[in-house]
Amino acid sequence: MRRMLNFKLTKFEIFIWIFSLISLSVSYLLTDSTLLFLLSTMIGVTALVFLAKGEPLGQVLTIIFSTLYAIIAYELRYYSEVITYLGMTMPSAFIALLIWLKNPFLKNKSVVRIEKLTRKKILASLVLTPVVTSLFFLILKNLSTPYLLISTISIATSFLAALMMFFRSRHYAIFYALNDLVLIILWLLATWRDLSYFPMVICFIIFFINDSYAYFSWKKLNIIQMGSLNS
């Protein structure tokens, strides 16, 4: 626990975090939304801030966010999101948490040691992703899930992001950013029917900004780590 609390945010990261929280709060106040929406989105954004720094605390917050988000998705019959976050994102975050804690960059440091994406890992991703996506597609189809194609794409991008988390690769942020774009569309469709879901659109726009930053943050972290090992 002590290692997970050993972190520092830059001024820019604090700015992104505060901007994200304010944006979510404003969207909540302007719509007939619920406190559960506000709480879940704020936790989710905070998780991304720490994931961008390679901090295990981000995985802990992701587990909490996944639970709350799944409840919201269930109410709208977005079973793909329920299955994705309870059956994939939440357990993946727990596994990634254990992996990250066992692989710190330096002893007694909280930041995870970043690894290169090897050919074997790429091959494993190319083989596993179609299999897992096809399996979930059949499940979602039997559940009469709305917007099946969009939901299936969400499954694929989420699974790839989870794999990259396990591999400790900065490419996790690319696939989460792609997933954010998919979810922006999904929640826009929900908002068309009920304006109270609009905060979720804002949420994933904010997520996209944070995940985009995370890719460059990890790239910078990787350069620093490589420099430290070579010095």
Q: Under 8 Å CB-to-CB from 3, ≥6 apart: which residues?
A: 56, 101, 104, 108, 109, 110
pLDDT above 80: residue 106: no
The verdict on residue 111 lying in a domain is no
* Residue 205 and residue 184 in contact, taking contact as beta carbons nearer than 8 Å: yes
C-alpha closest to that of 117 among 68, 160, 69? 160
Residue (of 9, 182, 176) closest to 80 by Cα position = 182
Q: In angstroms, rounded to a whole number, what is the distance separating the alpha carbons of residues 147 and 136?
A: 14
Band of pLDDT at residue 187, cut at 50, 70 and 90: confident
Q: Assess if residue 95 is contained within a domain.
A: yes
CA distances from 85 to 74, 194, 196 (A): 11, 22, 21
Enumerate residues 6+ apart whose C-beta is below 8 A from 82: 70, 73, 74
Here the tokens at position 24 are 């979510």
CB-CB contact of 165 with 172 (8 Å): yes
Asked if residue 2 belongs to a domain, the reply is no
C-alpha of 114 from chain center? 17
Look at residue 230 in the predicted model and tell me its pLDDT.
66
Q: Is the dihedral of CA 5, 86, 96, 123 positive or negative?
A: negative
User: What's the whole-model pTM score?
Assistant: 0.85
Tokens coding 198: 């609009």
Flag whether pLDDT at 9 surpasses 50: yes
Residue 5 lies in a domain: no
Q: Is the pLDDT of residue 189 over 80?
A: yes
> Which residue range forms the structural domain that includes residue 14?
10-106+118-230
pLDDT at 72 over 80: yes
Q: Give CA–CA dist 227/223, Å, rounded.
A: 6
Tell me if 133 sits within 8 A of 159, measured CB to CB: yes
Inside any domain, residue 112: no
Residue 216 lies in a domain: yes
pLDDT tens, residue by residue, 138-153 = 988 888 878 888 889 9
Looking at residue 31, the DSSP 8-state letter turns out to be T
The Cα–Cα gap between 63 and 61 comes to 5
Please check whether residue 186 lies inside any domain of the structure: yes
In the numeric block, the tokens 């989420």 are attached to: 158
The percentage of residues in the chain with a pLDDT greater than 70, rounded to a whole number, is 94
Structural domain count, the chain: 1
pLDDT band at 1 (very low <50, low <70, confident <90, very high): very low
The reply to whether 199 falls in a domain is: yes
Locate 33 and state its tokens: 């939304």
Give Cα separations from 158 to 11, 93, 174, 193, 218 (angstroms): 29, 12, 11, 25, 19
Tell the residue number behind the tokens 């793909």, with chain if given: 80
Q: Give 119-178 pLDDT, tens digit per residue.
A: 999 999 999 999 999 998 998 888 887 888 888 998 899 899 989 988 989 999 999 999
How far out from the chain centre does Cα 8 lie?
Answer: 20
